[in-house]
A and B are shown apart, each in its own frame.
Chain A
Amino acid sequence: MGQTALVSASQPTVAHEALVADLAAALAPDRVRTGAVELDLYGRDASVLRGSAAVACFPLDTDEVAAAVRIARRHGRPFVARGSGTGLAGGAVPVGDPVVIVTTKMDRILEVDVDERVAWVQPGVVNLDLTRALARHGLHFAPDPSSQQACTIGGNVANNSGGPHCLAYGVTSAHVLAVEVVLPDGEVTVLGGLDPEPPGLDLRGAFVGSEGTLGIATRIAVRLTPDPPAVATLLLDFPTVEAAAETVSGIIADGLLPAALEMMDQPITRAAEEFAHAGYPTDAAAVLLVELDGLPAGLADAVERVGRIGRSHGARTVRVAADDAERALLWKGRKAAFGAVARVAPNYYLHDTVVPRTRLVEVLREVYAIAERHGLAVMNVFHAGDGNLHPLLLFDARTPGVMDRVHAAGEEIVRVSIAAGGVLSGEHGIGLEKRDLMPLLFSPVDLDAQARLREAFDPDGVANPTKVLPAGSRCGDLQSVPEGVWV
């Protein structure tokens, strides 16, 4: 049943054995893996894409990462860095039997400077673990993707990850001061610095969000954000999706900048409620989750304003969380929403596009129409304040031909978003998933500029090859469509 793998793990050839032996000597034999079943696990992430790895290894520090990169190169292999594998665009899916360098054992918080509000961490530190470790200092790491309990800081850097609270606080790039990087030639350098405005070109800015194509981050200096003095979380429920979307625009137009402004439509609200038991109104067409923070004095006023704006657009109820426990419960359902859809269908394909906030309503209508045309169920949960849509197409991969419909619908959603003045990805990255859609947004000149930047870091194309930029981005580019990747 199910699918048949089109790719097999690398054959145990002499060359492969030599590669494995060199890695084992440089790291440790028990941190180099070649078992077929285990290797297959490193051929996936949280997307529906699948590739194959030649070998997986687990370095513990910068020197070991550099050694692994040099060994891969010496054996003519590309390399791919991987954290927790919670990415949704195939960024960590290995193409072309590379050496997969897994950073999850590099999970130490190296240094915390409470006064300067900076921490140096290894890339395998889990996002939420960092925030928990900082709690006693009244600080946190602001980017909070829905996967924050599982995803790594290294992965956040690679994807320039966002999260609900990035509306007010900015995405990962705004929270990374410096990155120690193993470059594709195995050399180690530091991009950026702790000074407020480091001199020279902002290579740190280029690196954050480069999805492992410019090298591997081995130490990261992250900015720490003070916990807000007071927080209020509101849940508003609406009889129509339009009313909820108009409320979003109304809140921003009123001059408020909520810490987070999230929307869920009815199907996803029901699925999330079944898991979280947060008391979401399952009969509402859409709900808004609004978080406000700041000084206690101003907060009550802001809560009142949001409630008033919501009611003026037809909100049926405005629930204000009474305490931290209720706040946590309201967020639990939102953060687990993607996973909870399996209660409805065994597979989902999650999109991530951004549209201007003012056009949310019309794009949403299109999304529902596209899904209906292709006979697919769709659920919407998204960062409404940013106009960052996350339509989930639901299906059972065991249904013959369903993947074609899913992909066709997905591409139409992207086209509609871009036609409305939006962009390809809000926060999940391009990876493999959106690579071939890049020309929808970027001109040949744009793509060539990006390809040349990449080439400056990685002239031989060995760092996470075939990702992000489509074949032909560079004049004379002969990069072929990756073989062995399938969905």
Chain B
Amino acid sequence: MHLGVDDDELATCVSCGLCLPHCPTYRVTGEEALSPRGRVAAMRQVQWEGRPADPSFVRSLATCVQCRGCETACPSGVPFGRLIEPARAALAAGPAPPPWPLRVGLGLLPRHRLLLAASSLLAVAQRLRLLPRGAARRLGLPDRLPVRRPRLRPSGTGEDPTRDVWLFTGCVMDAWMRDVHRDVQRVVEAAGGRVALPGPGAACCGALALHAGLEDDARALAHRTMAALPGEAPILVDSAGCGAALRDYGRLLGTPEAAAFAARVRDVHEWLADRVDRLAAAAGSRGDRAGRPRVAVQDPCHLRHVQRAHGAVRVVLAPFADLVELDDEGLCCGAGGAYAVVEPELAGAVRDRKLAAIARSGAPVVASANPGCALHLAAAGVDVVHPCQVVARALAGAGPVSTPPAAARS
């Protein structure tokens, strides 16, 4: 079958194998089929040599976390993300449609009011102990969903023309971790930004649909998101996965409008890094060395390997925390959007490596700029915060970070 992969791009891999140790699924299994080189060779067999897409092929492709760590490692510059996405779409449309619970879940994400209501309902169920913790974790839910969420308000009042940045709020992050958005907004305002909030149209960037191979759904969501964030103002994103997806709209839709939209997207840390002096000044003596939290930085793959903006997180955090680097070269944590729900066993094995690296670092708190990673790590008992929350607490003079946000705690 033809996988819809570009032949020239498929030809770029020289099979050197230098990607192997940078692939989370190869790392935990040692299996060629679960490595980037193996996946490329498998795609070539099916697209070029006409070999049937047998179960071993489906497993090879379906187990990819799509972390894109292989792209950073590849000396040949193989654009792995551009290979796996159409191949997964071809599988989803053909021999391996996504499982129905995933499709139901993905269908819920853009229906924001329904998502919020369902989320609150589940939160109540949790409080009443009607939803066992194990079941919640299997569904990828936090152990303690918020029953109520703080209300976000744009900077200023009414139709304020001085608002100069959008804050993208998204789907589950808004439903489960809105307190992160609130803190991000405070930090952006402290750095001099005037925040505008999008309407319900920007309730889902489409990343998870795209990763599941549902390209048409992803395109529809991209159009809707673009309409909800008009104008020229920069679009700040505090979720690394969403940011990577929004920045890829130009390629996904192939229109000049989409490319122009994508160019406006910035990870919030990139925007803040340019204004870090102002932030440090705003914190004043509260940012002093004494009492600074020790924070390990976990690089979400879509920040490090796709947006390549992980340096900005360190710039933003440095005045407010003693940073500890993990010694695993930015290997994926196994969250991968819905991956942890679809491939729990592999996701758990990959996470175990990250947990060991966190333990070796000795840091009591981990900063992660992606909600999927935060939830996945928190489900294993790690104290996870968003980097901007560390800054927000320093700005508020709240002292060291010692507790995670309610939504992400174990």
- Closest partner residue, chain A, to B327 (CB atom): A132
Q: Are B56 and A340 in contact (CB under 8 A)?
A: no
Task: List residues of B (17-66) whose CB comes within 8 Å of A's CBs.
Answer: 17-21, 29-33, 38, 41-42, 44-46, 48-49, 51-57, 59-60
Q: How many interface residues does B have (CB within 8 Å)?
A: 39
Q: Are A37 and B18 in contact (CB under 8 A)?
A: no
A4 CA to B30 CA, complexed, in Å = 28
Q: Shortest distance in angstroms between B125's beta carbon and chain A's nearest beta carbon?
A: 35
Q: Are B17 and A86 in contact (CB under 8 A)?
A: yes
Residue B11 at the chain A interface, CB threshold 8 Å = yes
Q: Shortest distance in angstroms between A57's beta carbon and chain B's nearest beta carbon?
A: 11
A38 CA to B41 CA, complexed, in Å = 9
Q: Which of A104, A126, A342, A346 contacts B75 (CB 8 A)?
A: A342
Q: Are A275 and B77 in contact (CB under 8 A)?
A: yes
Given the known interface contacts A36-B52, A37-B51, A41-B42, the answer about A102 and B14 at a Cβ–Cβ threshold of 8 Å is no
A46 CA to B11 CA, complexed, in Å = 15
A128 CA to B48 CA, complexed, in Å = 35
Q: Are B20 and A36 in contact (CB under 8 A)?
A: no
Q: Are A58 and B33 in contact (CB under 8 A)?
A: no
Residue A1 at the chain B interface, CB threshold 8 Å = yes
Residue A3 at the chain B interface, CB threshold 8 Å = yes
Q: Which of A36, A107, A338 contacts B51 (CB 8 A)?
A: A36
Q: Are B32 and A150 in contact (CB under 8 A)?
A: no
A149 CA to B27 CA, complexed, in Å = 12
What 0/1 pattern do residues 107 to 132 of A give for CB contact below 8 A with B? 10000000000000000101011000
Q: Are A36 and B54 in contact (CB under 8 A)?
A: yes
Q: Are B75 and A336 in contact (CB under 8 A)?
A: yes
Residue A296 at the chain B interface, CB threshold 8 Å = no
Q: Are B14 and A348 in contact (CB under 8 A)?
A: yes
A3 CA to B47 CA, complexed, in Å = 11
Task: List residues of A (61-95) whose CB comes within 8 Å of B's CBs.
Answer: 84-86
A3 CA to B78 CA, complexed, in Å = 20
Q: Are A38 and B49 in contact (CB under 8 A)?
A: no
A407 CA to B279 CA, complexed, in Å = 63
Q: Shortest distance in angstroms between A279's beta carbon and chain B's nearest beta carbon?
A: 17
Q: Are B14 and A339 in contact (CB under 8 A)?
A: yes
Contacts of B277 in A (CB 8 A): none
A336 CA to B60 CA, complexed, in Å = 26
Q: Shortest distance in angstroms between A330's beta carbon and chain B's nearest beta carbon?
A: 15
Contacts of A36 in B (CB 8 A): 51-52, 54, 56
Contacts of A5 in B (CB 8 A): 45, 49, 51
Residue B12 at the chain A interface, CB threshold 8 Å = yes
A342 CA to B42 CA, complexed, in Å = 19
- Closest partner residue, chain B, to A102 (CB atom): B30
Residue A144 at the chain B interface, CB threshold 8 Å = no
Q: Which of B49, B54, B74 contacts A2 (CB 8 A)?
A: B49
Contacts of A265 in B (CB 8 A): none
Q: Are B14 and A84 in contact (CB under 8 A)?
A: no
A275 CA to B73 CA, complexed, in Å = 10
Contacts of A40 in B (CB 8 A): 41-42, 45, 51
29 contacts between A and B (CB under 8 A): A2-B44, A2-B49, A33-B56, A35-B57, A35-B59, A36-B56, A37-B53, A37-B60, A38-B32, A38-B33, A38-B60, A39-B56, A40-B42, A40-B45, A41-B41, A41-B42, A105-B29, A124-B30, A129-B21, A147-B16, A147-B18, A149-B18, A336-B75, A338-B14, A338-B75, A339-B74, A341-B14, A342-B78, A398-B11
